[in-house]
């Protein structure tokens, strides 16, 4: 988001001690690097593959190249002695720590994509239950889109007579059952909607959407599902530069999400819904 904090590298054998009152001590790669860090600085590092390695530290003191800092600052995971910080790069006084960014991405994935944008997954039921017509489905299933069985040369659609519902894990190990109108006991194929657990890097549109949402959160956008007009623009100066930028990014997020949602809706099969009042 245009921010370019300096980076500091730790020593190739940066021994970490986190056993003393929640503190971590390690060595920078040189006394020059150590001199560039001061008490009150926040140092952040993260492994892009896991939120558990999004560490952040509040520096308490620096002696030569030895840094002592609060471990697990601002809610981030605590680094352990066994983890080490050997040759790691640390962001110095970044506006948002790696942990903050992970948290914003998690919020988008968990709360802001569904039900507009979703993952479409294929699955099978090898042995349909012809006694109850109910079978266990994955816990991530939010809605079954279509189901079918192959009878001879024909692919025949079957109804989903009861969408996935939650049950105790003693009944279903996944905690969810669905009911189908099976024709016979042959394999049933189905596709379902699920919340995205992670973004496919090859899907640049989805990655861009998630990035927009996370940026809007970090910039303090006014998170309204309605179109932001008038008041936000009129009060941009009072809201501050970052908040105003966040609102503009939030509008871009809503626009792109709506576009992707319309594209996905066009791919759904037609449905007839009965209501008994």
Mean pLDDT of 54-63: 94
DSSP one-letter string for 126-176 = SS--TTT-EEE--TTEEEEEEEEEEETTEEEE--EEEEEEE--TTT-TTSE
**pLDDT, tens only, 102-143:** 999 999 999 999 999 999 999 999 999 999 999 999 999 999
Mean pLDDT of 155-163: 96
DSSP one-letter string for 65-126 = TEEEEEETGGGPPPP-TTT--TT-EEEES-SS-HHHHHHHHHHIIIIISTTTS-EEEEEEES
**pLDDT, tens only, 191-235:** 999 999 876 666 789 999 999 999 999 998 888 776 444 444 444
Percentage of the chain with pLDDT > 90? 65
Lowest-confidence pick of 58-62, 167-171, 238-242, 245-249: 238-242
Rounded to 5°, the CA angle 51-120-187 comes to 120
What confidence score (pLDDT) does residue 171 get? 94
Mean pLDDT of 45-63: 87
Lowest-confidence pick of 133-142, 167-176, 238-247: 238-247
Split at pLDDT 50, 70, 90, the class of 276 is low
Split at pLDDT 50, 70, 90, the class of 53 is confident
What confidence score (pLDDT) does residue 213 get? 95
What confidence score (pLDDT) does residue 265 get? 79
Would you give the distance in Å from CA 213 to the centre of its chain? 11
pTM over 0.85, yes/no: no
What confidence score (pLDDT) does residue 201 get? 63
What confidence score (pLDDT) does residue 245 get? 86
Mean pLDDT of 57-82: 91
DSSP letter at 49? Answer: T
Please, what is the average pLDDT of the chain?
87
What confidence score (pLDDT) does residue 226 get? 61
Both tokens of residue 55?
């560490």
**pLDDT, tens only, 127-137:** 999 999 999 99
SS3 271: coil
């Amino acid at each position: 988001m245009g921010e370019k904090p300096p980076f500091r590298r730790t020593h190739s054998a940066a021994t970490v001690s986190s056993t003393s009152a929640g503190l971590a001590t390690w060595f920078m790669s040189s006394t020059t690097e150590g001199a560039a860090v001061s008490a009150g600085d926040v140092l952040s590092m993260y492994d892009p593959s896991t939120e558990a390695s999004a560490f952040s530290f509040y520096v308490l003191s620096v002696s030569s190249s030895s840094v002592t800092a609060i471990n697990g600052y601002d809610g981030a995971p605590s680094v352990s002695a066994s983890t080490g910080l050997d040759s790691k790069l640390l962001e110095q006084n970044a506006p948002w720590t790696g942990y903050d960014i992970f948290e914003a991405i998690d919020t988008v994935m968990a709360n802001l994509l569904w039900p507009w944008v979703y993952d479409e997954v294929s699955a099978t039921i090898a042995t349909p239950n012809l006694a109850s017509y109910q079978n266990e489905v994955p816990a991530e299933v939010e809605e079954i889109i279509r189901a079918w069985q192959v009878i001879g040369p024909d692919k025949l659609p079957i109804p989903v007579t009861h969408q996935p519902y939650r049950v105790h894990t003693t009944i279903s190990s996944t905690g969810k059952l669905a009911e189908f109108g099976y024709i016979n006991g042959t394999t049933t194929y189905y596709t379902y909607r699920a919340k995205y657990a992670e973004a496919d890097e090859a899907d640049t549109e989805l990655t861009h959407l998630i990035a927009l949402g996370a940026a809007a959160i970090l910039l303090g956008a006014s998170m309204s599902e309605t179109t932001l007009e008038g008041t936000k623009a009129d009060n941009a100066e009072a809201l501050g530069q970052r908040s105003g930028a966040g609102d503009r990014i939030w509008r871009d997020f809503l626009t792109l999400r709506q576009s992707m949602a319309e594209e996905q809706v066009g791919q759904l099969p037609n449905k007839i819904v009965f209501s008994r009042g």
